[in-house]
Structure formats: structure tokens, C-alpha cells
Amino acid sequence: MRRRIPWATTRLQTSRAAGGRFVRNAQDGNGGFVACDAVRTADRQAMADARDIVALSEVYLPATGGHINWQHEVYKRLGNVCVLTAKMPGLPSREQIDGVTVRRIRLSRWSILRPESLLLYGNLAAHCLQQVLRTRPVALIAARVLPEGLVAGIIGRALGIPVFTFAHGEEVAVYGQEASFAKNSTTARMKRWFLWKGYALSRTVIANSRFTFRLLRQGGGPGRRIELVHPGTDPAVFRPGPKSRAMMQRWNIDNGPVLLTVGALCERKGQDTMIRAMPQILAEFPQAQYLIAGSGPKRLMLEALASELGVRERVFFLGRVPDAELPDLYNLADVFVMANRVLEGQGEVEGFGIVFLEASAAGKPVIGGNTGGTEDAIQEGVTGLRIDARDPATVARAVVSILKHPELAREFGRQGRQRVLKDFTWDRSAAGIRQLILRYSQRPHRSRV
């Protein structure tokens, strides 16, 4: 029998003795985990008594992205979290962000190596092992399965420390399936093997949506150790409010209907489809304006497309909008649209879509593609519409239908905010992960790999 290091299995016994409880979600139909509305005081105290949680995340703040925000909002609520992440120019090697300790280490890929990430894995493993031996953490958390989950899984398995790995959907779709690659190369097969190995080494895989949950199950993921915990948002930050006149003047936005997309300028986000829909929308609402917030490699292509279609004057490229300005930006919108789609042959997909929650929290009707994890972010016909976002005509009809029925738009917005307040706050998401740590830190890891 393998000897287990005692700190990983004894530090949280207080919670069980004090009657800490865990709640299963009986409504999602697949055994997903949902936190109770209030975490027991004993559970919180048990987490506070833990020396540390070590989290591995190749990319972290101030970088942007939904999965980065999710991690940070959870970590600052858990407490005692140290994040190991890659160095960034001009940033200190160690700092505190909202109470989260962030250590930046050298994580580089070298094209002369095979695989090119070999040195990255080695450095991440060395620093992770050093941090573990120094702080004796109660758990390891991996932001993704590769590289973080594989490294954490090997170390956690060797030392008896439970590992919790986030799954976001896209990585499973891209690397996890045979059909995800047009050419089934040796590199593709290796990545696929390491992906499932990383998940198998995890005590628990945290799926962000039912879509991701199904992908993991279909691909042979670790069965009953897959748990569903949704991301969230902060309804105290994103809330209904008046339109900012200063913001309207900055971007020369008039009083016509405002359509908004927030997200990276990449193909799967569907800004191109929305631009192609604009001529049909403008035929019904000549003063409509489409605001695109975000940066990315497709900006020049999108600007050229808007010019080609003769709608450039009604499409506004805002660039990356600071987080502090996002609440006012959402309040400028009459409809939030992200025409997300799956890229055939590439596997790129929207695993959840936190921006839909932010828009709903601001009281806005939302429109999204009917692929990926948007089935959880949007409640079809209640908070907005899910459509075939590959077709510009379908997108245009959905937008026009909401603009023509302002009472429906208001009801979508009202229901969306209520849904966020009830089920999709950061506090609720963090409570779910906290209870998973409490639950699984007291069981031996019996996975077969």
C-alpha cells in the first residue's frame, strides 16, 4: 500500500466533525456539484486553518480571459492561495493581488526542443515541488489540464495531495478527440494521451458547463470524479444603470439602438457573422450601432469586412476596454450579442461564456450561438435567445425581433439578472469549489492510470 503524507488527509477533519455538509445538484441530470447557498462556518474555518492551496496557472493576471477571471475570483475567496504563473515583463516576481499570493517564474517554450514545452514542464514541476515541500498545502489546483494539470497530478499523486483541475471545454474539444485533428499527427496523439493522463491523475475535474461535462464523459474522463461548478459574475458590479454620456461622447455613439459584443477578436466569437448581419439589421433600424470591445488578430480583417459591406460607419471597434469600464459599457447596450460558433475541423468552441452572465447581471437581453456551453450561460427563451450563429440572416432576425419588442427585451433582462443573483455569483462558484476541496481532501485517490 502506498504511504500517504499525513498533512493532505488530516488538515480538514474539523469540518466533518463539526457537521459540514455537501449538496448534490439534483436538477442538472448528470450528477453535477452545486454548492449550498451558505457555506458552514466550520467549513470556512477549516479552510482558514489550512496552510496553503497551491495553484498552477501558466497565464494569470493582469492577462485577461474568462478562465483567468474565474480562477482569481475563486482564489481570493478561498484564502491562503499561492499561484505559480509565468513571468511577465515589468511585473515583480512575487506580489499580492486581492490577498492572493502570486509567484512569477520562468516558463518558456523553446522551438529547438522536442517537445518545445519540455523546459516549461520541468521548471513548473521544480517550482511546484519546492512550494509544496515548503508550505505543505492541503490541495493543488490546476488552471488547465496541460501543462498545469499534468504537472500537479504527478506531484500530487506522489505526495498524496489531492489535485483539482479546471476543464473549460475548448481544450477537450481541441485535443481530446480523434476527430479534432485534420491530420492525426504524432504530436496530436501525444497531446491527446497527456490530456487524458492529466485528468486521470486529478482527484477531481471541475467542469465549467454541462457541455464540458459531457465532453469529459464521452472522452473517457475520470467518471464520478467529474464535478460541475459554473463560473459566475458579480451582480454588485454589473447591474442596470443609465447610459454613460461621457462614454457615448468618447466613441461618438448616438441615441440609436446599441448592439454589443465583448470578447477577443477571433473567429469563434463570431464578430464577423454579426457584421455580415448588419445590413439586414440596418434595413429595419437605420440608426443601429454595433460596438465591438476586445482585441485580437482578426481586427484588420473585421474592419475590412465592415467597409466592404458598407456598414463601417455603424460598427465601432473599441479595442480592449478596462475592467473598471465594463459595467458602463454593458449599460450602453440595448442587446448583447455574441454569435459564437464551433470551428469545423479545429474543435474551437465556447466552453461557457461569462460575458453572457455579465450582460444578464446588467439587465440586458442576450443572444448567443447554440453551441458549446452557452446552454448554461443563457436560459433559452427566458434570459435571451440561442440561435444558429453561423448564419448572418438568423442572427439579424434574432436581433430585430428583440429590438421590435422592447417589453420582451426588458423581461429577458429582468429574468437574466434574477438568475445571476440566484445561481451565478462568484460567491456561489467559490463555495462549490471550497466544498469539493473539503470533500475530496479526506479520501484516498484510487484512480487507475
Confidence of residue 32 (pLDDT cuts 50, 70, 90): very low
The per-residue pLDDT for 205 is: 96
E strands, 148-230, in order: 163-167, 204-207, 226-228
Pairing of strands 94-97, 100-105: antiparallel
pLDDT tens-digit series, residues 342-352? 887 676 899 99
pLDDT band for position 108 (cuts 50, 70, 90)? confident
Average pLDDT, the chain: 86
283-336 residue pLDDT tens:
999 999 999 999 999 999 999 999 999 999 999 999 999 999 999 999 999 999
Which pLDDT value is given to residue 127?
Answer: 96
Contact 268, 247 (CB under 8 A): no
Distance CA 322, CA 247 (A): 13
- Domain segments of the chain: what residues? 7-232+425-440, 245-423
What's residue 51's pLDDT?
55
Can you give the length of the chain in residues? 449
Share of the chain above pLDDT 70, in %: 82
Q: Cell numbers of 135, please?
A: 508550505
pLDDT at res. 40: 42
Neighbours of 70 (CB within 10 A): 26
Half-sphere exposure of 237 (CA within 13 A, CB side): 13
| Residues 253-273 pLDDT 10s | 999 999 999 999 999 999 999
Spatial separation of the C-alpha atoms in residues 387 and 398, rounded to whole Å: 8
Q: What is residue 12's predicted lDDT score, i.e. its pLDDT? A: 39
**By mean pLDDT, which of 174-183, 313-322, 390-399 is the weakest?**
174-183
Fold assignment, 7-232+425-440 = Rossmann fold (3.40.50)
Report the distance separating Cα 164 and Cα 183, nearest Å.
32
Confidence grade of residue 14 (pLDDT, cut at 50, 70, 90): very low
pTM of the model: 0.86
Least confident of 52-56, 118-122, 261-265: 118-122
Cβ-Cβ contacts under 8 Å for 432 (sequence gap 6 or more):
33, 34, 35, 227, 229, 230
Decide: residue 22, CB within 10 A, 0-12 exposed, 13-18 middle, 19+ buried. middle
Same fold, 7-232+425-440 and 245-423: yes
Mean pLDDT calculated for residue range 111-123:
72
| Residue 359: all three cell numbers together | 450582460
Q: Which amino acid is at 304?
A: A
Name the helix (H) or strand (E) containing 426.
helix 426-440
Give buried/exposed letters for 366-386 (b at 16+ CB in 10 A, else e).
bbbbbbbbbbbbbbeeebbbb
Top CATH class, 245-423: alpha beta
Closest-CA residue to 381 (of 406, 362, 404, 398): 398
